Amino acid sequence: MKRDTAISASETTYDSIMTGHIGLESEHEEYRERVREFAETEVAPVVDDYEERDEFPLDLVDELGEAGLYGVTIPERYGGEGRDYRSFVLTIEELCRIWKVPAGVVSLSGSLVGHTLQKFGSERQREEWLTDVFTQNQVTAVSLTEPQAGSDANALETTAERDGDEFVIDGHKVWTSHGEVADLIFVVARTDDTGSHDDVSIIGVPNPGERDGVEFVRDIPCMEGGAVVENEVKYENLRVPVENLVGEEGRGFRYIMEALDIGRLGVAAQSTGILQGCLDESARFADEREQFGEPIRNNQGVSFKLADMKMDLEAARLLTYSAAAKLDAGERVTQDAAIAKTFASDAAMEGAVEAVQVLGSRGYSKDYPVERFMREAKGTQIYEGTNEINRSVVARHLYD
């Protein structure tokens, strides 16, 4: 039996997050309530089952779409909800308070794929791909990282050569999240060979699982667990029509960098939600667990851990909301998003380690979610630019 003394996720949070935040309107707080209810009633009861079965939650993606929580910022005419970026981060935060995997789908589809298609895609791509993703609740993926091209993304060697009215794609990618369950993959490839950023283009590959030339070599076993899908992929003589080029040839690197601002805000929101989950679980446990005849929260050594989590949580939340509000005001948020992502993910990792400590042996078991929060938090320090790379972004923009 799980959670012998813990309270289920649906019970009251110990944190006073509903008191309003700078940058949020009352409609955002109402929207947050909607997402929270979905997360507690639809996600919380099934997360352990999916995790135990190592199964990607395709049904949950469908339910998110049905509940109007998937294409949050995508215009309604393309099947989305037409909301702002503050709603986007709230959706991800509230889902991550319970489970990161479905939030990761909302984050990736809304940022790297959704934003890029909406802003740079052709009208045909918007009407077909974008609309299909958000009306049919499809999963998307981005194939950028390669074995030799991680932080240095421009070291990518995948090529897309023109052959008549087709591109022929050849290359080896790693860490393509959602790859084999995706209905649409953005493959990032060189369409020229000068070695500069201006060689790089994005090519859309719909229905990748049904194509000759796409081999999902393996699902990389990773710390987060088996429910998330992280593929190593080989593209060999993959032929797609030239009209699958997204935007202009040679502009792909710039498109990815712009969309990463939004992606990093999504990761900041993931981290904030994970940290909230850690605080909820550990504050509740510290209130109920008695040792030496009293609740363990009466010990300063325990209560200071909770206080540190609360302080970091408030700071992470404000950085995330403030960057989202700037984005809603039409500003470029490269530095703000890097700050929010780095601060929030470091805080989530630290908070998760302490949450495990507050729960003692129970925190180390899979009977409680904090060990999973710790595994989820670690990823947020690495993907969408490691925190070292994000610190470099912050430093570079000091001189703008």
Within 32-61, the residues that bind ligand FAD by CB under 6 A are none
Closest CB to ligand FAD belongs to which residue? 150
- The least CB distance from residue 141 to ligand FAD, in Å, is 6
Within 202-231, the residues that bind ligand FAD by CB under 6 A are 222, 230
Within 120-179, the residues that bind ligand FAD by CB under 6 A are 142-145, 150-151, 175-177
Q: CA 371, CA 359: separation in Å to the nearest integer?
A: 10
Nearer to ligand FAD by Cβ, of 320 and 380: the residue is 380
Helix axis angle for 85-96 and 26-38, nearest 10°, is 30
Which of these segments, 156-164, 236-244, 350-358, 387-395, binds ligand FAD (CB under 6 A)?
387-395
Contacting residue, 7, 257, 318, 389, with ligand FAD by CB under 6 A: 389
Contacting residue, 55, 68, 386, 394, with ligand FAD by CB under 6 A: 386
Q: Residue count at the site for ligand FAD (CB under 6 A)? A: 19
- The least CB distance from residue 176 to ligand FAD, in Å, is 5
For residue 275, give the 3-state DSSP assignment: helix
For residue 141, give the 3-state DSSP assignment: strand
Nearer to ligand FAD by Cβ, of 9 and 104: the residue is 104
Which of these segments, 54-62, 286-294, 296-304, 388-396, binds ligand FAD (CB under 6 A)?
388-396
- Asked whether the beta carbons of 229 and 181 are under 8 A apart, the reply is yes
Which of these segments, 206-214, 238-246, 357-365, 378-386, binds ligand FAD (CB under 6 A)?
378-386
Going by C-alpha positions, the residue among 85, 87, 163, 69 that lies closest to residue 118 is: 85
CA-angle at 101, arms to 281 and 333, nearest 5° = 95
The 8-class DSSP code of residue 149 comes to: B
Q: CA 190, CA 169: separation in Å to the nearest integer?
A: 9
Nearer to ligand FAD by Cβ, of 87 and 145: the residue is 145
Nearer to ligand FAD by Cβ, of 118 and 145: the residue is 145
Nearer to ligand FAD by Cβ, of 150 and 213: the residue is 150
Which of these segments, 89-97, 130-138, 266-274, 383-391, binds ligand FAD (CB under 6 A)?
383-391
Contacting residue, 99, 235, 285, 383, with ligand FAD by CB under 6 A: 383
- The least CB distance from residue 178 to ligand FAD, in Å, is 7
Can you say whether residue 198 is alpha, beta or left, with left for phi > 0 and alpha for psi between -120 and 50 degrees? alpha
Nearer to ligand FAD by Cβ, of 257 and 389: the residue is 389
- Selected catalytic residue, list 63, 230, 281, 384: 384
In one-letter notation, the amino acid at residue 383 is Y
- Does the active-site annotation cover 27? no
Q: Does 344 interact with ligand FAD (rule: CB under 6 A)?
A: no
The string of DSSP codes covering 201-237 is EEEEEESGGGSTTEEEEEE---TT-SSS-EEEEEEEE
- Asked whether the beta carbons of 233 and 158 are under 8 A apart, the reply is no
Q: Give start and end residues of each alpha helix (H) in the chain.
A: 26-38, 47-53, 58-66, 85-96, 100-108, 114-120, 123-125, 131-135, 252-288, 300-328, 334-358, 361-364, 370-380, 387-396
Query: Mind telling me the catalytic residues?
Result: 384
Which positions lie near ligand FAD, rule CB under 6 A? 142-145, 150-151, 175-177, 222, 230, 379, 382-383, 385-386, 388-389, 392
